[in-house]
Structure 1
Amino acid sequence: MAIPGAIITEAETQVSVGRKYKSRKERPCDACRKRKICCTRDAYEKDCSLCKTRGETCKYVLPPNVRRNRHPSARQRASTSSASPTTSTIPPRPVQPRSNVKPEARSSTSPSGEWICQFVGLSGDQDPFVLRHCAFNHLNCYKASDWAILKIKGDGETPLHFTVVPDSHLDARPDYYPTTDTEAVVKPYGEVLLRTYFDVIHVSYPLLDPSRFNSEPETGDPLLAVMYNLAAPFCQDSPPVFSQLSDFVHQALPIEKCHPRLETIEAALLHLQRHTTIHRSPTLPGLWSDIGSVVGMAHDLGLNLDPSTWSLSSSDANRRIRIWWALYIQDKWSALGLGRPSYLNDEHCSVPLPTIDNFSHTGLNNFPLSLQPALQFIAMTHLTTILTDLLNTFHTLKSIERIKLLPIPLLYSILDDFQARLHAFHEEHLCQLYNVNTLLDSSGSVILAFYTCEIVLFRAVLRALPMQHPGYVEC
Structure 2
Amino acid sequence: MFPSGVGGHQTRRPCDRCRHRKSRCIKEPEKDNCTFCHLNGLECTFIHGPRPRKRSRKLSSATETNSPTPSSTGSAEEQITADQAKSRLEGTLGLELHLHSEYIGPASYHEPDLLDLRPSAISLAEYERYFPRRVTQSAAFITYHDRDSASEVQRIADLDRIEELIHPLGPTLVSLYFRIVHRTFPILDKGVFLEKHTRSYREFSPPLLAAVYLVALDWKLFDRILATAPRTVDTESLEILALRTMEDDLKRPKLSTLQAGLLLLQRMKSSHSTLPAQLLSLGQTLGIHVDCTTWKIPEWEKGLRRRLAWALYMQDKWGVLVHGRPSLIPAQIDEEEGTSDWDVGQCTLNDFPEELIGEEENTDGGVDAAAGRAAFLQSIELTKIFSRIVSTFCSVGATKKGGILERIGPSGAMSLAKPLAMELRAWHTAVPDSLQLEPTPSLRLSTNGALHLSHMAAELTIHRALIRTLTPDSPSSLRSTIRTAARARLTSALNLIESFQPEHIQSFWGFAAAAQVALVGAFAGLLWATSAETDEAAGYVEQLEKLRWVLQVRAPAAPFAREALRMLHEEVGDLAAVKAATFRDY
Question: Is the TM value for this pair above 0.5?
Answer: yes
The SS at the match of 1:348 is: coil
- Are positions 1:371 and 2:351 aligned together? no
The SS at the match of 1:263 is: helix
Counterparts of residues 296-445 of structure 1 (less than 5 Å): 296-345=281-330, 346=333, 347-363=340-356, 367-368=360-361, 370-400=369-399, 401-406=403-408, 409-429=411-431, 431-434=433-436, 435-438=439-442, 439-445=444-450
Structure 1: distance between partners of 2:207 and 2:386: 32
1:473 to 475, 480, 487: 480
| AA aligned opposite 1:412 | M
Residues 177 and 399 of structure 1: CA distance in aligned 2, closer, same or farther (over 3 Å): farther
Query: How far off its partner does 1:405 sit?
Result: 1.4
Query: How far off its partner does 1:177 sit?
Result: 8.0
Q: Is the contact made by 1:332 and 1:342 (CA closer than 8 Å) also made in structure 2?
A: yes
Query: How far off its partner does 1:421 sit?
Result: 0.1
Aligned to 1:203: 183
The SS at the match of 1:162 is: strand
Residues 240 and 169 of structure 1: CA distance in aligned 2, closer, same or farther (over 3 Å): closer
1:264-317 Cα offsets, whole Å, 9 max, x none, are 111111011126xxxxxxx32643x01111111101100001111112222100
Q: Is the contact made by 1:234 and 1:240 (CA closer than 8 Å) also made in structure 2?
A: no
Q: Is the contact made by 1:189 and 1:237 (CA closer than 8 Å) also made in structure 2?
A: no
Q: Is the contact made by 1:183 and 1:190 (CA closer than 8 Å) also made in structure 2?
A: yes
Q: Is the contact made by 1:230 and 1:274 (CA closer than 8 Å) also made in structure 2?
A: yes
Structure 1 vs Structure 2 CA RMSD: 3.6
Residues 4 and 440 of structure 1: CA distance in aligned 2, closer, same or farther (over 3 Å): farther
Aligned to 1:5: 23
Q: Is the contact made by 2:177 and 2:212 (CA closer than 8 Å) also made in structure 1?
A: yes
Q: Is the contact made by 1:149 and 1:161 (CA closer than 8 Å) also made in structure 2?
A: yes
| AA aligned opposite 2:131 | A
1:116 to 74, 81, 100: 100
Query: How far off its partner does 1:415 sit?
Result: 1.4
The SS at the match of 2:201 is: coil
Residues 398 and 431 of structure 1: CA distance in aligned 2, closer, same or farther (over 3 Å): farther
The SS at the match of 1:163 is: strand
1:160-184 Cα offsets, whole Å, 9 max, x none, are 2111222223336475885351223
The SS at the match of 1:179 is: helix
Residues 462 and 326 of structure 1: CA distance in aligned 2, closer, same or farther (over 3 Å): same
Residues 246 and 210 of structure 1: CA distance in aligned 2, closer, same or farther (over 3 Å): same
2:166 to 172, 186, 190: 186
1:248 to 236, 241, 245: 241
Q: Is the contact made by 2:253 and 2:282 (CA closer than 8 Å) also made in structure 1?
A: yes
Aligned to 1:294: 279
Query: How far off its partner does 1:412 sit?
Result: 2.2
Structure 1: distance between partners of 2:418 and 2:41: 63
1:321-370 Cα offsets, whole Å, 9 max, x none, are 11111111111111122211112224211112311121244358984473
Counterparts of residues 251-270 of structure 1 (less than 5 Å): 251-270=244-263
1:354-388 Cα offsets, whole Å, 9 max, x none, are 11121244358984473111111111111110111
TM-score, normalising length from structure 1? 0.70
TM-score, normalising length from structure 2? 0.58
The SS at the match of 1:246 is: helix
Q: Is the contact made by 2:272 and 2:323 (CA closer than 8 Å) also made in structure 1?
A: no
Structure 1: distance between partners of 2:182 and 2:155: 32
Structure 2: distance between partners of 1:303 and 1:124: 16
Counterparts of residues 43-58 of structure 1 (less than 5 Å): none
Query: How far off its partner does 1:214 sit?
Result: 3.1
Structure 2: distance between partners of 1:200 and 1:352: 26
Q: Which runs of 5+ in 1 are unaligned?
A: 18-82, 276-282
1:406-460 Cα offsets, whole Å, 9 max, x none, are 2655432221101110011001126440133252011111100000100001111
Counterparts of residues 46-195 of structure 1 (less than 5 Å): 85=51, 96=63, 99=66, 114-128=98-112, 130-131=113-114, 134=116, 142-144=121-123, 145-154=128-137, 159-171=138-150, 173=152, 179-181=158-160, 182-195=162-175
Structure 2: distance between partners of 1:285 and 1:408: 31
Structure 1: distance between partners of 2:239 and 2:64: 17
Deviates more, 1:428-437 or 1:451-460: 428-437
Q: Is the contact made by 2:271 and 2:322 (CA closer than 8 Å) also made in structure 1?
A: no
Residues 196 and 177 of structure 1: CA distance in aligned 2, closer, same or farther (over 3 Å): closer
Query: How far off its partner does 1:233 sit?
Result: 3.1
Query: How far off its partner does 1:84 sit?
Result: 8.3
The SS at the match of 1:142 is: helix
Aligned to 1:78: none
**Count of residue pairs the alignment pairs up:** 379
Structure 1: distance between partners of 2:64 and 2:272: 30
- Are positions 1:455 and 2:455 aligned together? no
User: % of aligned pairs identical?
Assistant: 20
The SS at the match of 1:5 is: coil
The SS at the match of 2:218 is: helix
- Are positions 1:232 and 2:217 aligned together? yes
The SS at the match of 2:185 is: coil
Q: Is the contact made by 1:177 and 1:255 (CA closer than 8 Å) also made in structure 2?
A: no
Which structure is richer in relative contact order (CA contacts within 8 A, separation 6 or more)? 1
Structure 2: distance between partners of 1:123 and 1:359: 33
